[in-house]
Amino acid sequence: MPAAFLSSDPVIPTVPLTPRIRDALRAIVGEKGLIEDEHGKQPFVTDWRGLLAGAAGAVVRPGSTEEVSRVVRLCHEHGIAIVPQGGNTGLMGGATPWPAHTGVVLSLGRMNHVLDVDPVGYSMTVEAGCVLQTLQETAAQHDRFLPLSLGAQGSCMIGGNLSTNAGGVQVLRYGNARNLVLGLEVVLPNGEVWDGLRALKKDNTGYDLKHLFMGAEGTLGIITKAVLKLWPAPKDVSTAWLTIRDPRAALEILSDAHSASEDNVGSCELMSRSAIDMVLRHIPGVQDPLKGETPWYLLLEWSSARPRRDGVEGMSEKLEQFLADQLESGRVLDAAIAQTVGQSRNMWRIREGVAEASRAEGPGLSYDISVAISRIPEFIDKGTKAVLDILPSIRPYPLGHIGDGNLHFSFMGPVGMDQQTLAQYKGAITRSVNDLVTSMGGSISAEHGIGIDKLDELGHYRSKTELDIMRTIKRALDPQNIMNPGKVLRL
C-alpha cells in the first residue's frame, strides 16, 4: 500500500494503452520521447523517497507545448489518465502514479529552455522542464536574482515547483511560488492551451486564472511555460550560525533583526541539534560551525542589493553588532559569522542536506505544518510531547522556516525499528499532530502539498464547503478525471 493511512485506493481511470494509442503517442513525440520498457519507466513511477512505487503504461516525454497539447488531446479522447511530472523530487507522492495507473506519466524534462530574460523588466520566461538551479544561475548571469531556493534545486524543475506552490528558505522576504509568477501557459485537460504568458504586474481583467494551477499539483492542467519575477542580485550578504536559548528566543531574535538589518533579513532557519548531527553523519564534507550540545540553533542571513563600500557599515558589521546585543540579552549563546563564501555554503549545506540525510538515516515521519509564527514554540512543546506519548523511543528533529511559520515537524524511527513497524504508529501520530495543528488554527501542509500522502487528511480537516468548491472546479475543468487522478481530492 503506497500510503499507510489511506483506507483505500481512490477510483481512477484505468483505460489501457492499446497498440493503436501507443503508435499515436510515438507519432507525436518520436521514439526518444516514449519509454515503454519496465526498466526505463522505473525512475518515473517511483518517488524520490523510495516509499511509493506505482505503474504506467508508458512514460511520454514531449519536447514542446504543441506536443503536450496533442498528447493530452489524445488521452482526453480515449479517457486515458495522465500523471504530469517534473523533476520527481516531491515529498507527498504528487508526481507518482498509483499502482492501478494504466495511463501515461507525462514528463516535462525535455522542455528545458530559457526563452527570454528581461533584466530591465525584471522577468524571465522559461519552459516548465528547466531545472531550478539553472534558472538561478541564468538570472545571476544578468545581475538578477531568482529567490526560489530549495534543497532539491539541482534536480527539481520549475513546472513542479509552481504546481506545488513551492516555498523554501527565501519565503520570509520574497514569498512563495505564487508571489514569484507573472504569467503561465497551461495545457488544459482537453488539450486546449491557455496562453497567459503576460509579464504584467497589474492585470485586473476578471479571475486571476494562473492561481488556479499553482498549487493544484497537476490536477487541473499542465503548466508548460512561466513568466517569473526577478529581483536585483544581492551584493552584500552576511550569514551567521547561532546557538540560541530556545525557539522563543528565535522569534525574539527575528523580530529585532528586521529593524536592525533595515528590513534586509533574507532567511531565518531554525535547526535542532539532532537534525544537525544527522546531517554530519551522512553528508560528506560538512563541518559543524559551532561544536556543542546546545539543543537549538538558528541560521540567519542578511542581504542587500547595495554593494559594500569602504567606510560604510555593511551587512557583516551590522550583523556583528546585532549579535553582540543578542548575546548580551541571553537569547544568543554563541555565534559564528561566515568569513568566506565557503563557510556560508557549509552552513547552508547543513540546512539543505536534512532531507538527504534523513533518507540515509532510516525510516521516519515528517509533517510539513504551519501555525502563526508566535505559536511555534508552543506547538513544538505540545506536539513533541503528544508524539512521545504515543511512541516514547521515537527521535524528534524539528526544523524549519521559522520566519514564515512553517515547521518541518520531523521524526526518525526508534533505533532498529523498520518502516513496516513504524507504519503501525503512523496513523495515531498523524492524527495527534494534525489535530494539534488544526486546534491552533494552522495548516497541515505549508509547502509540500497534498499528493497521495495527505489525500485523506485533507478530506478530514477541510470543511465540506471548501471541498465542494474544489471538487466543482476539478469537475468543470476535468470532467473525466484524467489529470493526475487520485491526488489532492477524492472525487
Last residue of a domain, one of 214, 232, 250: 232
CATH of the domain at 371: 3.30.70.2740
Same domain for 246 and 336, yes or no, is: yes
The verdict on 118 and 227 lying in the same domain is yes
Q: Do 324 and 393 have their domain in common?
A: no
Does residue 367 share a domain with residue 345? no
Q: Are residues 369 and 329 in the same domain?
A: no
Q: Single out the residue in 202, 232, 262 at which a domain terminates.
A: 232
Q: Are residues 341 and 370 in the same domain?
A: no
Q: Answer yes or no: is 11 within a domain.
A: no
| Residue 216 sits in the same domain as residue 286 | no
Query: Which pLDDT score, from 0 to 100, does residue 293 have?
Result: 86
Same domain assignment for residues 189 and 253: no
In a domain, 25, yes or no: no
Same domain, 367 and 329: no
Same domain flag for 211 and 311: no
Residue 255, C-alpha cell as written in the block: 523580530
Asked if residue 487 is part of any domain, the answer here is no
Q: What is the pLDDT along the chain (491 residues), one digit of tens a residue?
A: 344 435 467 889 999 999 999 999 999 999 999 999 999 999 999 998 888 999 999 999 999 999 999 999 999 999 999 999 999 999 899 999 999 999 999 999 999 999 999 999 999 999 999 999 999 999 999 999 999 998 899 999 999 999 999 998 999 999 999 999 999 999 999 999 999 999 999 999 999 999 999 999 999 999 999 999 999 999 999 999 999 999 999 999 999 999 999 999 999 999 999 999 999 999 999 999 998 889 999 999 999 999 988 767 899 999 999 999 999 999 999 999 999 999 999 999 999 999 999 999 999 999 999 999 999 999 999 999 999 999 999 999 999 998 899 999 999 999 999 999 999 999 999 999 999 999 999 999 999 999 999 999 999 999 999 999 999 999 999 999 999 999 999 98
Q: Is the pTM of this model over 0.95?
A: no
Number of structural domains found in the chain: 3
- Distance (Å, rounded) from C-alpha 211 to C-alpha 80? 26
Chain centre to alpha carbon of residue 94 = 11
Same domain, residue pair 219 and 127:
yes
- Please, what is the end-to-end C-alpha distance for the chain in angstroms? 20
Domain boundary among 302, 330, 354: 354
Boundaries of domain holding 294:
236-354
Residue 83 lies in a domain: no
Report the CATH number that the domain containing residue 343 is assigned in CATH: 3.30.70.2190
Question: Are 307 and 370 in the same domain?
Answer: no
129 closest CA partner among 147, 153, 104, 112:
112
Pairing of strands 265-272, 296-304: antiparallel
Whether 78 maps to a domain, the answer reads: no
Radius of gyration for the chain, computed over Cα atoms and rounded to the nearest angstrom? 23
DSSP string, 428-480: HHHHHHHHHHHHTT-BS-SSS--TTTTHHHHHHHS-HHHHHHHHHHHHHH-TT
pLDDT of amino acid 11: 83
Question: Could you give the CA distance from residue 424 to residue 410 in angstroms, rounded to a whole number?
Answer: 17
Query: pLDDT value at position 1?
Result: 39
Q: What pLDDT score was predicted for residue 8? A: 65
